[in-house]
Amino acid sequence: MLSKDFRRHKLLMVESPAYFESYRHVLARLQEIDQEMFPFQKYLVSCHSNVDPPMYLRGENVKTTYDLSGVLDESSSEVSVLDFESWPLPNESDQPLNKSQLEALQAALSKEFAVIQGPPGTGILQ
């Protein structure tokens, strides 16, 4: 056990090369990207928190609907992507998605950039 005075002890940090190796190729590729062509730099570099809809959903009178019968219950399969009022509520008894899963699906379909994190099926939105 180390004493409370850490300045008296020499500490050594050991880092596994295997951990870095799995990311090395990705990091090397990121270094090669032209700064002007960096994808999503508005969000990843400049940290804009207001995320725009995808390009195909922008403009006047754009009303895109998706048939989500494979994901949602049969009675609410057709939803207007940008009109969240047309989406079913997560607490409906026959709704197969919980609140965070539904929010993750909405973000993935209605935002230009969405980060969804968690084990498959959890749909935890960041």
User: pLDDT tens digits, the chain, 126 residues: what are they?
Assistant: 555 666 777 878 777 666 777 788 888 988 898 888 888 889 988 889 999 999 888 877 777 888 877 777 655 578 888 888 888 777 665 667 778 888 888 899 999 999 887 777 665 555
Residues contacting residue 75 through CB under 8 Å, at least 6 positions apart: 88, 94
- Please state, in angstroms and rounded to a whole number, the distance separating the CA atoms of residues 123 and 126: 9
**Cα separation, 71 vs 67, whole angstroms:** 9
- Which residues 6+ apart lie within 8 Å of 28 measured at CB? none
What are the structural domain ranges in the chain?
17-125
CB 78 within 8 A of CB 67: yes
Report the predicted TM-score, pTM, of the whole model to 2 decimal places: 0.63
Hey, what amino acid is at 97?
Answer: L
pLDDT at residue 52 in the model: 92
